[in-house]
Amino acid sequence: MTAETAADRTVLRLTGSERGDFLQGLVTNDARPGALVYSALLSPQGKYLADFFLLDRGEDILIDVKDDLAPALAQRLAMYRLRADVQIEETVLEVTRGRGDGPEGSHPDPRDAGLGWRAYGIAGERQVTDWDALRVTHVIPEAGVELIPDDSYILEMGFDRLNGVDHRKGCYVGQEVTARMKHKTELRKGLAQVEIEGTAPVGTEILAGEKPAGRLFTQSGGKALAYLRFDRAKGALTAGEAAIRWPEGAKS
Looking up residue 111, the CATH number of its domain turns out to be 3.30.1360.120
In a domain? residue 155 = no
Instruction: Report the alpha-carbon angle 37-80-52, nearest 5.
Output: 25
Q: Please indicate, yes or no, whether residues 74 and 195 belong to a single structural domain of this protein.
A: no
Enclosing domain of residue 58: 4-138
Per the structure, how many domains does the chain have? 2
* Assigned domain for 145 exists: no
Residue 194 and residue 92 share a domain:
no
Residue 250 CA to residue 165 CA, distance in Å, equals 23
Looking at the structure, tell me whether residues 113 and 17 fall in a common domain. yes
pLDDT higher than threshold 90 for residue 36? yes
Q: Which of 248, 209, 210, 252 is nearest to 228 (CA)?
A: 252
Same domain, 76 and 199: no
Q: Rounded to the nearest 10 degrees, how much is the dihedral formed by the CA atoms of 203, 40, 154, 49?
A: -50
Does residue 250 carry a pLDDT above 80?
no
Q: Let me know whether 28 and 110 are in one domain.
A: yes
Q: Are residues 130 and 196 in the same domain?
A: no
Could you tell me if 43 and 110 lie in one domain?
A: yes
pLDDT at 1: 61
Number of neighbours of residue 128 by Cβ within 10 angstroms? 8
Residue 154 lies in a domain: no
Instruction: Tell me if 167 is assigned to some domain.
Output: no
Check whether residue 197 and residue 121 sit in a common domain: no
Reported as a single tens digit per residue, the pLDDT across 161-200 is: 999 999 998 899 999 999 999 987 689 999 999 999 999 9
Do 116 and 208 fall into the same domain?
A: no
Q: Specify whether 134 is located in the same domain as 195.
A: no
Q: Are residues 124 and 222 in the same domain?
A: no
How far is the C-alpha of 101 from the C-alpha of 27, rounded, in Å? 30
Please provide the size of the chain in residues: 252
* pTM higher than the cut 0.85: yes
Reference 174, options 32, 49, 18, 23; nearest CA is: 49
Q: Does the pLDDT of residue 156 top 90, yes or no?
A: yes
**Co-location of 132 and 192 in the same domain:** no
For 37-55, the pLDDT digits (tens) are 999 999 999 999 999 999 9
Q: How does pLDDT run across 99-142, given as a tens digit for each residue?
A: 988 899 999 999 999 999 999 988 778 778 999 999 999 999 99
3-state helix, strand, coil in the chain (%, to 5): 15, 35, 50
Q: Which of 218, 243, 210, 212 is closest to 230 using CA atoms? A: 212
Residues forming a β-bridge with 155: none
Instruction: List the beta bridge partners of residue 191.
Output: 227
**Last residue of one domain, picked from the residues 138, 163, 180:** 138
pLDDT of residue 251: 59
